[in-house]
Structure 1
Amino acid sequence: MRVVSLVPSLTELVWALSPDVLVGRTRFCLEPDAVRLIPAVGGTKNPDVAAIAALAPDLVIANREENRREDVEALRLAGLEVLVTDPNTVDQAMAVCVEIAARLEVPERGFEMGREATSVLREPLPKRRLRVFVAVWHEPLMGLGSESYGHDLIEHCGAINILAGQPRYPEITLAEVARLAPELILLPDEPYPFKEKHLEVYESIAPARVIDGKVLWWYGPRMAESMRILRRMFSEASG
């Protein structure tokens, strides 16, 4: 089996499941460090179709949000099989892990990732559900709405997403955020590179924290630990 992954989180997943099958990645696929030795075939938005085809992969793994439809179509026109993932809930993310593990002929490893995450979900939730705002972009300010893995993860970890019911990544003003009365603001360092210097703007509304974006957006081998991190954070913040 030969696999090319066009998504950083899925590259990490493939490596965790069966590292020997990975023959190509994007230049943004840098986790774990060992994958940097794998040939890069362009970026997530501009993969080099010819370079990918030259690697003769049995499977190319992409994501509906991360990768462009025209690139997926070009890869398929080149005769390559492309698996396009689109998990918008925790359960769907677990299913992706199981599906990819099955395709790589290591099904038990996928089931084990799901079991570990499910075990964390069975642990007691924080006593009080904290109202949380997650910033996705700074200028214009965009937040995390519904219909996304990150939203469902937050809800599963015992918090209330104040933008629940809104589109996936709605634009919003600071005044509107304030009116929704969050008790904690999360500033993930991806896709926008939030840093400590941004805290002052948001802390005028509520306590804010810069966090590793992979906790919110990446599933796979780090899913269970991300749940533990968020549950601990929400529990501490809710008192």
Structure 2
Amino acid sequence: MATAAAEPGRVNEDFFAAGPTAAVLLDGAGIRGIEEICRHGVAWYTTRLGGELVARLALADGRDLVSLLSEAIDAVASSHRDTCDLTDPSSPSATVAILRLTGDRADHLVLGDSVLVLDRGDAGLAVVHDRRELVVRERFGSAYEAAPEGSAEKDRERERYVTALRANRNQPGGFWLAKDDPAAAAEAIIGSEPILDLTDATLLTNGASRLVDRFGAADWPSALAIVRAHGPAEIIRRVRATEQAGGIARDDATVAHCAGLAD
């Protein structure tokens, strides 16, 4: 696993944990000044939600991943509902990617724009990603992206863009994240594969997957070849180089590679 904060000295709001039979990856989301809405902040939320998920996955009681995520969201919401404004659309939230080995199956869940890539050998790659947020961003973000940097127009378009994202977060026809409503878990993309059909799996937050799905600097087979040959940190290094060359704002980035699943 490799991870890097968006900027040196800034808190990394990603979370990753793994045990013998499960891996959990979260990517926190929030706005500047979020402490006025939630005194704990985004990094606290991802760490707390990740811990709730790890604890439930460790029980190995056979419950489905949607139920476990729903319970974890509810537990975290209950722990700070009395002190923070969870009804605010900008209160802390997170994307979720889970891989769990149980019996002879590998179950997975993805909520939000983190990515899980499963290598099924001769059957090829299965890229599990939730594109609903991307659709919303493309629908409302084109004017913001096109506006000149540093201009009043840029500021106006950014405000409209952020307002549109808030209005579509955890709403029908919009996109879904782990936040305060346990029902959001039912919107996750889920699936299951025979473990013997898998060689490995790679989990990426969108700050790392952008090498492929935003920058087009690699495709998924070549990205996995980079991970296998040079390790997950090389993906992040290439992302940072592309961001610097294009003057693109950086994001927290995490890559976790789970090898030898069938073993």
Give the TM-score normalised by structure 1: 0.29
Higher relative contact order (CA 8 A, sep 6+): 2
Structure with bigger strand share is 2
Give the TM-score normalised by structure 2: 0.27
